Amino acid sequence: MLDAILAKSANEFTIDDLLVLVKSNNQNANLDKIKEAYEFAKNAHRGQLRASGDPYILHPLITARNLAEINMPEEVIIAGLVHDVPEDTEHDLTEIEKLFGEDVKNLVEGITKLGKIKYRGFERYVENLRKMILAMAKDVRVIIIKCADRIHNLTTLEALPPDKQQRIAKESLEIFAPIANRLGIIKFQAQLELLAFKYVYPEEYNWVMSIYQDKDTEKKQEQMEVDIKQIEESFQKNGLKYLEIYGRSKHPYSLYRKLLKNYRDINRIYDLIAMRVIVPTIADCYMAMGLVHQLWKPLTGRVKDYIAQPKVNGYQSLHTTVFDNTGMITEIQIRTPEMHENAELGIAAHWIYNESKDPNKQNELKNKQHSWLQELKKWQQDIKNDPEAIKNMKLEMFSNRCFVFTPRGDVIELPEDATPVDFAYNIHTDIGNKCEGAYVNGKYVPLDTKLKNGDIIEIAINKNRKSPNQAWLKFVKTKIARSQIKQADKKSSFLSFNIFKKSKKEEK
């Protein structure tokens, strides 16, 4: 029944379907309150139509559906249903608070305060980004609702003029999708990117989509089905229980970005079609990888253990890339159900634990908050009146991430193309200031070297060094490195000025 509901188009989806979907995720949800919110929104929007010609109520209903599909709790579902009421009807926030409580009112107010974002020029772009960052720092659920709202807006873009299509799609690709990525909500990121991609880069979109229809790709998909059966037989023979084994294609926009980095050569892409293996326990993950490696030879340098050394955002999984019996290269990801849920839903998965009322899971919720979200609160003061700070923040937060290691094996998360100097400042300000050189994977490299995933970094310091090199500002990528280098320069200038004043006095 649930599969049938999820397969329905937007126009077929009903409030009863939403209630079934919510109930499947949360047995304790107040379905009567959710239905009340729907009826309230339906009456408030009565007579209103979308540009597509659909009744307006369809939009908040599908927004709520998107939220339910990532297991968000009932107050977020309710806020999704009524999020446009204060802005587009005669009803206000006071009425929403009276009917649905302060938490829902605060969520709707946060959405309303973001306003109607319009991507028009850099200054407007900076202001939009500033609003998004401040909203995230206050309550990340507001941004999750906005992403759910934007996904449905993108599905009806054909009803808008071309200039609006471009603006909304570009903003979705450059602001909303990266935010979904940083929140770890891969489902939202993939939807936002796919829906926006064809409007922002239509020719590139058609090119990438043609790859999925290519005969070689079709052969790979057929071979993967054969490989899955081989893995299943191996697991059964060796007594390893598994929950699910399936193939998945790389998301189109993600493939496009990777192709650009690999000279548009599809033969360099090893995870166009990849395999997911879901097993009950962590011990089963390692046993599964061992059995896979008995079947096929792993590709050198492509075995990654994100269970023993999770990514900074909490992502855990075993990754291996193998040559199967036909010579086809395939990436395989092995994980437990909880790891899989966290990988797909990111921060949204944490509310599932909170809903369980389990104290251990609630503590896990607190402990698993993304470090970059915590940084947002520290950066609020920086972005009030400094567009340059916002631009730098955008570059750091929304770039692809690079995961490198200290010599002791600690995982450090940095922006894409970060350097050893960024790494040094991430460890400690004093190490950054006294940085003299760096070893990457045991080899001495220049300080402007771009780091790659999996690199092991060791910093050589000069204890006699008094301040960092200002030339480093030309290549560092992180906010902490830039600010510390600039701060050291100001301090040095201040000391030099005082020494100059003192020498002048002594001359007199």
As given in the structure block, the two tokens for residue 347 are 């921060």
At residue 394, what is the residue type?
Answer: K
As given in the structure block, the two tokens for residue 251 are 């998301």
165-182 in b/e form (b: 16+ CB < 10 A) is bbbbbbbbbbbbbbbbbb
As given in the structure block, the two tokens for residue 491 are 């301090």
Instruction: Determine contact, residues 396/414, Cβ cutoff 8 Å.
Output: no
> Degrees (nearest 5) of the Cα angle 288, 292, 293?
120
**Of 321, 136, 305, 294, which is closest to residue 230 (Cα–Cα)?**
294
Distance between CA 480 and CA 312 in Å, rounded?
Answer: 17
Instruction: Determine contact, residues 77/34, Cβ cutoff 8 Å.
Output: yes
At residue 279, what is the residue type?
Answer: V
Instruction: Determine contact, residues 41/63, Cβ cutoff 8 Å.
Output: no
Marked catalytic residue, from 16, 32, 74, 87: 87
87 in catalytic set = yes
Instruction: Determine contact, residues 265/216, Cβ cutoff 8 Å.
Output: no
Marked catalytic residue, from 16, 39, 69, 88: 88
**Three-state SS across 196-235?**
HHHHHCHHHHHHHHHHHCCHHHHHHHHHHHHHHHHHHHHH
- What residues are labeled active site? 87-88
